[in-house]
Structures are given as structure tokens and as C-alpha cells.
Amino acid sequence: MALTKFHGPTLDEIGFFYCISTCVVLTLFSLVLFFNETYLLLGSFSIYPAFLFLGVLELTKWTYSQILHQKDSLIYRNKKLSVILLLWNNLKTSGFKEFFKSIIIVGGSVIVYYILAVLFGAQVLKNFEETFMFSMLLSQLTIFPLCLNVGASDIPHLLSTMESSNAIHSLLIMNIKGTLAGAWLGAIVIPLDWDRPWQEWPIPCSVGAFCGYILSHYVLLIQTFISPTTKFWMPRKKQ
């Protein structure tokens, strides 16, 4: 279900939750990756549990945002298994068409990222596994959240205008920009002749994308705290 049509404090709240959960969980996650040196596997298929984890995290955030979004609508308040029902209902209302569309968009974005990586200098087919995993990571960090939160049919519009109409959209755009900038910056260490294992393609770029993703969330979090208009963490006044 797309969260496009709504404004107001709820969306700010969802955005805040998004940022704070990503910051906490992914920072810990990246520390784990770093200390057991799993990040060196970022270019091979064997890293897929990490990808799964990222996907699950994104889904959880989305589910929570759905609950938060609809908690005032009273429909599911008293039912057990409300979460599953809510999801099912969402899927039913927005249609399976939307669902398949999202899958196609994510798949297409992997191909687009692959082509981009090749244009920017990756081997065409020689390092297929590495380049493929890199483009998988990028699309998981950028397009997958978009599909969940914006809805497949609205993605082209959002991507072509890059204009944010609400808090969630600006968060997603910021996150795309951060991820891509991180991946771009990551390439800096590749040419250096230090002969370290972490200089192998695509580890620096993947790590850079990951860091850019987390950093953009931190930046947003700080912005939310500084900004004078969003005071939703204050106790709401009862009317």
C-alpha cells in the first residue's frame, strides 16, 4: 500500500521510526559484518543471508509503518492476528498486479545497475558474480524500499521528478542519493596498489553504498531533531 496520499504528523512519525530503526539495527549489523569479516564476501553469492536480513528488516519497518498508519482507523483494533490480516488486506486492495509490477521493477533495476556498473568500468561478464551481487545490493537498498512505500506505479514519476511531496518520499530520495554517492565514493580505493583483500571489486563500492545508506538515515535523523516543526515525539495534546 502506498503511503502517498497522506500528510501530517503520522508520516513524520513513520519517517522518524524508519530512520531510528535503520540507524540502530544497520549500525549493529554492519559492525557484525565488519568484525567477523563477512563483508569480504560481499561479492559472492554466499552473502545471501545478509541480503535476506536486509529484506526482512525493510519488510518489518514497512509493516510497522502500516500498523502505525492505520491504528486510528479502529478496524483491526480488537482482532487477533491483526498484523497478518492487515497485510493480507493491503495486498488484496492494492492488487497482485501491483505486487508483480514491483517484482519486475526490482528485477529491472538490477539489470540497470549491472549495466551502469559495466559502463563505469566493471568487466562485462568476467566478474559476473561480483557485479551481479553489487547491483543486487544497490537495488535492494534503493528500489526495494521504494516499491514497498511508494507503490510500483508511482515509482517512475518519483524517480523522474525527484521531488518529494512528503516526509517518507524525501527520506527515500535522500536514501537513494546517499547510497549512490557512497557507491561512487567507494570506488576511490580500488585503483590503489595496496593489495588488500577488501580492495577487490565490488567490496569497496558495496561497503560504500551500505555506509551511504546508513549515513543518509543518520543525516535525516539529525535533521528531524533540529527541525523546529516536527515535535511529534513530544506527548500529544489531547483535544
Partner 1 sequence: MKLSWRYLLFLLWLSYLLVTSILLFARGFLLNRTILNTKSTCGSRDHICLDVWSSSEDEEVLAGYSWGDAQRCLDSVSDGSQYCTESNTSVIILLIDALRYDFVATEIDDLSLPYKNKLTVIDEMLKSNSGRLYKFVADPPTTTLQRLNGLMTGSLPTFIDAGSNFATSEITEDNLIDQLVKNNRSVVQMGDDTWTQLFPGRFLRSYPFPSFNVWDLDTVDKGIKIHLTPEILKKDWDVLIAHFLGVDHCGHRYGPNHPEMERKLLEMNEVIGNVISVMDANSVLFVFGDHGMTKSGDHGGDSDNEVSSALFVYSPNKTILSNFRDVGSIRQIDLTPTLSALLGIPIPFSNLGSSIININADSEKFISSSLWMNVLQATSYIKAYSDQNTQLPPDSLNKLLEKFHFLTLLIRNIKNNNDVQAVSVKAQEYLKMLREICENVWVRFDSISMSRGLVLLFLNIALALIFVDGMPSKCFQDIIKSNFMWYGFMSIILSVLVTYLLFIFDFISNFELSLYFITNTASLVVFSITISLNWVEIANHWHLQGKTSAWSNIIFRVIVLFSSFGLFSNSYVVEESSVVSYMYLTSLWISVLMMRSQITKKINKFGSLWTYNQYSVRRIVIVLAIILSILIRISWFYWQCREEQSSKCIFDKNKFDYSLSLLSTVVFAVFITISRNILKNFGNLVGFSPPVFISRYLPTVCVVCSGCYWILHSLPARMKPKLIPWQLLLLPRFVLCTSVLCIIVYFIKPLCIYYITKEEQRNRVFSDSVSLFHYLKAILIKKSNNDVPECPIVYGLATAYSATFLNIAVFLCLISAILLGESRALVSIILILSLILLTIILATVRHSRSNSQGDNFLVPWWSVVCWGFSSLYFFYGTGHQPTFPGIQWDAAFLMGDIVSTFLPGVLVIVNTFISQILHALLLPLLFISQFTLGVVWPLATQNIDLKKGEFLLAKQEGLLWKGMFSLTARYILFQGWRVFISMLSASIHSRHLMVWKIFAPKFIFESMAFLVTIPFILMSYLLVERISTSIKSLIEVLKS
Instruction: Name the site residues for partner 1 (rule: CB under 8 A).
Output: 118-121, 160-163, 184, 187-188, 191-193
In angstroms, what is the minimal distance from the CB of 190 to partner 1?
8
Closest CA to 122 of 219, 32, 190, 50: 190
Query: Is 46 or 123 the residue whose CB approaches partner 1 more closely?
Result: 123
Query: Is 66 or 139 the residue whose CB approaches partner 1 more closely?
Result: 139
Query: Is 119 or 234 the residue whose CB approaches partner 1 more closely?
Result: 119
CB 193 within 8 A of CB 144: no
Distances (CA, A) of 55 to 37, 51, 61, 105, 201: 21, 6, 10, 16, 23
Helices (H), the chain: 9-35, 48-70, 82-119, 128-149, 155-161, 167-186, 203-226
In angstroms, what is the minimal distance from the CB of 88 to partner 1?
37
Query: Is 37 or 163 the residue whose CB approaches partner 1 more closely?
Result: 163
CB 169 within 8 A of CB 98: no
Query: Is 27 or 161 the residue whose CB approaches partner 1 more closely?
Result: 161
Which amino acid is it at 165?
Answer: S
Hey, what long-range contacts does 52-59 have (CB within 8 A, 24 or more apart)?
53/29, 54/140, 54/141, 55/140, 55/144, 57/21, 57/22, 57/25, 57/26, 58/140, 58/144, 58/145, 58/148, 59/148
46: DSSP letter: G
Query: Is 38 or 170 the residue whose CB approaches partner 1 more closely?
Result: 170
In angstroms, what is the minimal distance from the CB of 125 to partner 1?
13
In angstroms, what is the minimal distance from the CB of 163 to partner 1?
6
In angstroms, what is the minimal distance from the CB of 119 to partner 1?
4
In angstroms, what is the minimal distance from the CB of 188 to partner 1?
8
